[in-house]
C-alpha cells in the first residue's frame, strides 16, 4: 500500500539552537531560509523562537512571539507550504496562528500552558503532541524507563485522549515520540526499532532525529551539520516502520532519500524528470 509522507523543515529563529547556532535569528535570514527550504520541497515549515536543546533556558513569551510572528507573516504571504509554530505557550501560538500557522508543534504535549488545548480546539488547527521527560534544562540528566517504548506510547495515548476531551478533533492530532528529549542513545534506538508500536496509536507519527547528538555518538561526528548520513538512515528506517512526517534541517537531501525509500516500500513510483541517457 502506498505510503505518503511529509517533510517538515526546521526554521530556528533563535540565538542558541544546537544545529545552527543563531544563524537565522535575523528576520531577513530566517525568511530567506524558510523560502529556500520550501523550494527544496518542504511540505511544512516549523518556526521556533525558543531553543529546546538540552540545558536550554526558557524564553519569555513576548520575546518568543517577537522573534517568530513577523517572520511567519512574511513567509505566509508568498509560500504554499503549511506553516507550523514550535511553541508550548498559548500566546505565542495565538500570534503565530494569526500570522498564518495552521499547526502547533508543542513539545510539552499541551502540558506547558493550560490555555493551549482550548486555543487549538477553538481555532481548529493541527497539533503535534510530543513526549519529553522533564524539561529541556533537565531532560538529559539520567533519564530512566522500565520500557521506553511502552511508556512513550502510553503517554502519547493519554495526551491524545486529553486533547480530544478538550475539544481537539482526533484527526487534527500528530504524535511525536520525542527522539532525544529525555532519552539515552539506547532509548532512541529502541524507539526507532519499535516505532510501529507508536504508529499503532492510529495518528501520523512525526520523527525528529535530524543532526541530533545520538547520531554523533554513533558516527563520531562532533559537529551537528556533519550528521546528514545518520539523519538519512534514521529517517528511512522510520519511514519503513510507518512514520509519515519527518522534521529535518536538510530538506532536499532527506526528501530525495525518502522518495526512493517510499518507492521501494510501497512499490509505486513516479519519475520527476525524464530518464537519464544511458552512457554505459
3-state SS string for the chain? CCCCCEEEEEEECCCCCCCCCCCCCCHHHHHHHHHHHHHHCCCEEEEECCCCCCCCCCCCHHHHHHHHHHHHHHHHCCCCCEEEEECCCHHHHHHHHHHCCCEEEECCCCCCCCCHHHHHHHHCCEEEEECCCCCCCCCCCCCCCCCHHHHHHHHHHHHHHHHHHCCCCHHHEEEECCCCCCCCHHHHHHHHHCCHHHHCCCCCEEECCCCCHHHHHHHCCCCHHHCHHHHHHHHHHHHHCCCCEEEECCHHHHHHHHHHHHHHHHCCCCCCCCCCCCCC
Taking the domains of the chain in order of start, what are their residue ranges? 6-266
pLDDT digits 0-9 by tens, 110-146:
999 999 999 999 999 999 999 998 776 665 677 889 9
Conformational region of residue 142, where left means phi above 0, alpha means psi within -120 to 50, and beta covers everything else: left
Q: Show the low-confidence residues of the chain (pLDDT under 70).
A: 1-3, 16-21, 55-56, 136-140, 267-280
Predicted local distance difference test score (pLDDT) of residue 266: 76
Grid coordinates standing for 160?
A: 491524545
pLDDT digits 0-9 by tens, 152-163:
999 999 999 999
DSSP β-bridge partners for residue 156: none
Predicted local distance difference test score (pLDDT) of residue 142: 74
**Residues that are catalytic:** 212, 247
Predicted local distance difference test score (pLDDT) of residue 2: 39
Stated pTM of the model: 0.91
Using CA atoms, how far apart are residues 280 and 262, in angstroms rounded to an integer? 27
- Residue 246 has φ and ψ, to the nearest 5°, of -125, 110
Q: Could you tell me the fold of the domain covering 6-266?
A: TIM Barrel (3.20.20)
Amino acid at each position: 500500500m502506498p505510503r505518503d509522507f511529509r517533510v517538515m523543515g526546521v526554521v530556528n529563529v533563535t540565538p542558541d539552537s544546537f544545529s545552527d547556532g543563531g544563524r537565522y535569528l535575523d528576520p531577513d535570514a530566517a525568511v530567506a531560509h524558510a523560502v529556500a527550504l520550501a523550494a527544496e520541497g518542504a511540505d511544512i515549515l516549523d518556526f521556533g523562537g525558543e531553543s529546546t536543546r538540552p540545558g536550554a533556558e526558557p524564553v519569555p513569551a513576548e520575546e518568543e512571539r517577537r522573534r517568530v510572528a513577523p517572520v511567519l507573516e512574511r513567509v505566509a504571504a508568498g509560500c504554499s507550504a503549511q506553516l507550523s509554530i514550535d511553541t508550548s505557550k498559548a500566546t505565542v501560538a495565538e500570534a503565530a496562528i494569526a500570522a498564518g500557522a495552521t499547526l502547533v508543534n508543542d513539545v510539552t504535549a499541551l502540558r506547558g500552558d493550560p490555555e493551549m488545548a482550548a486555543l487549538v480546539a477553538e481555532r481548529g488547527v493541527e497539533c503535534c503532541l510530543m513526549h519529553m521527560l522533564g524539561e529541556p534544562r533537565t531532560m538529559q540528566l539520567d533519564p530512566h524507563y522500565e520500557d521506553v517504548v511502552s511508556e512513550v506510547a502510553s503517554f502519547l495515548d493519554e495526551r491524545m485522549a486529553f486533547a480530544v476531551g478538550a475539544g481537539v478533533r482526533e484527526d487534527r492530532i500528530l504524535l511525536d515520540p520525542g527522539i532525544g528529549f529525555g532519552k539515552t542513545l539506547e532509548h532512541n534506538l529502541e524507539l526507532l526499532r519499535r516505532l510501529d508500536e507508536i504508529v499503532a496509536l492510529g495518528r501520523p507519527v512525526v520523527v525528529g532525529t535530524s543532526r541530533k547528538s545520538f547520531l554523533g555518538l554513533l558516527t563520531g561526528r562532533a559537529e551537528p551539520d556533519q550528521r546528514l548520513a545518520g539523519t538519512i538512515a534514521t529517517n528511512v528506517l522510520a519511514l519503513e516502520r510507518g512514520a509519515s512526517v519527518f522534521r529535518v534541517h536538510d530538506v532536499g537531501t532527506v526528501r530525495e532519500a525518502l522518495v526512493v525509500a517510499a518507492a521501494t516500500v510501497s512499490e509505486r513510483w513516479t519519475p520527476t524528470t525524464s530518464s537519464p541517457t544511458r552512457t554505459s
